[in-house]
Amino acid sequence: MTQAPTSVMPQHVAGVTTHRRRGGVRHMFRYGVDFVMIDPETIARGPLLFSRNRFNLAAVHDRDHGGPLGAGRGADWARAVLADHGLTGTAPTLRLLTQPRFLGYGFNPVSFWLAYRADALIAVIAEVSTPFKDRHSYLCHRPGFAPIDKSTRIKRPKQLHVSPFQDVAGEYEFAIDIDDSHVDIRIFHRNGNEGVVASLTGARAPLTSAGLLRASLRRPLGALRTITLIHWQALRLKIKGAVYRPRPTPPSSEVS
């Protein structure tokens, strides 16, 4: 069973992200990443080197999430999205799984809003952002907001231009397995014979200043490193012969 966090204290997911491109131009990379899981509606006392809505070694800012880039509404946005798509009754518990800003700089290719009732995960909003300053979110839930478990597969049409080497076509399939000890999220993009398999896996642990310091030494510059690696992989794809697609007009809707 995919379970809700048992504490509002921030958690650290020292994880690994893997991308594997299939089709005519094959490509693969694997990097270490650092995510935090927080209660987005409670500023709980955390480690000295982590803050909410203010500068620190690592920080999560509400304006970075829930709506347009840089103008997010945080948890209010996520609750409105769930209500607009038919979630009624008892309000769910929310968690946000995201890469924090490091020394004030932030960029998240994808963050995840997690909605729980009791011990059951009932919805996930995958908040996808691009280096082109575009954002679109994919709401994942089963009919009637039934619990999501590790065998659940949820499909959504691709809406956002994420990579200049892929068409805005085909569909995503989300597989989400989160329990008290680990995170395992896999996203499959399929477009005919072309596609990408992306994953985020890692163990959950209490967020500590020592852990943040180790992360900053092991993976320096945080999100700046992420954006640099994105451009490096784009260069590698270009060298391999992948066809460049100009950025199309982004979708008019925030959520699909």
Tell me what pLDDT residue 199 has. 96
Tell me what pLDDT residue 2 has. 53
Determine phi and psi for 44, rounding to 5 degrees. Answer: -75, 155
* CB of 138 closer than 8 Å to CB of 251: no
Three-state secondary structure call for residue 57: coil
- Sequence letter at residue 17: T
Question: What end-to-end distance do the CA atoms of the chain give, in Å?
Answer: 26
Tell me what pLDDT residue 186 has. 97
Q: Which tens digits make up the pLDDT trace of 89-134? A: 889 999 999 999 999 988 889 999 999 998 899 999 999 998 888 9
Average pLDDT, the chain: 90
Q: What does DSSP assign to residue 126?
A: E
Say how far apart CA 17 and CA 223 lie, in whole Å: 14
The residues, ordered by sequence, that sit 6+ positions from 238 with a Cβ below 8 Å of its Cβ are 165, 244
In angstroms, what CA-CA distances link 71 with 33, 68, 74, 87, 100?
25, 5, 9, 24, 16
Check pLDDT > 50 for residue 1: no
Q: What does DSSP assign to residue 251?
A: P
In angstroms, what CA-CA distances link 101 with 40, 84, 138, 179?
15, 30, 22, 25
Give residue 24's pLDDT band: very low, low, confident or very high (50, 70, 90): confident
Residue bearing tokens 């982590």: 50
- Interval 17-30 mean pLDDT: 84
Tell me what pLDDT residue 202 has. 97
- Sequence letter at residue 138: Y
Q: Which tens digits make up the pLDDT trace of 73-90? A: 999 999 999 999 999 888
Say how far apart CA 37 and CA 62 lie, in whole Å: 14
- Interval 230-246 mean pLDDT: 80
For residues 114 and 217, the model is more confident at 114
Say how far apart CA 240 and CA 256 lie, in whole Å: 33
Confidence (pTM)? 0.92
Tell me what pLDDT residue 5 has. 46
Which value, in Å, is the radius of gyration of the alpha carbons in the chain? 18
Q: Which tens digits make up the pLDDT trace of 152-199? A: 999 999 999 888 788 889 999 999 999 999 999 999 999 988 889 999
Nearest Cα residue to 89 out of 144, 148, 39, 155: 144
Tell me what percent of the residues of the chain surpass a pLDDT of 90: 61
* CB of 251 closer than 8 Å to CB of 159: yes
Nearest Cα residue to 104 out of 53, 162, 173, 36: 53
Tell me what pLDDT residue 47 has. 95
Tell me what pLDDT residue 29 has. 82
- Sequence letter at residue 222: G
Check pLDDT > 60 for residue 6: no
Tell me what pLDDT residue 182 has. 95
Determine phi and psi for 216, rounding to 5 degrees. Answer: -70, -25
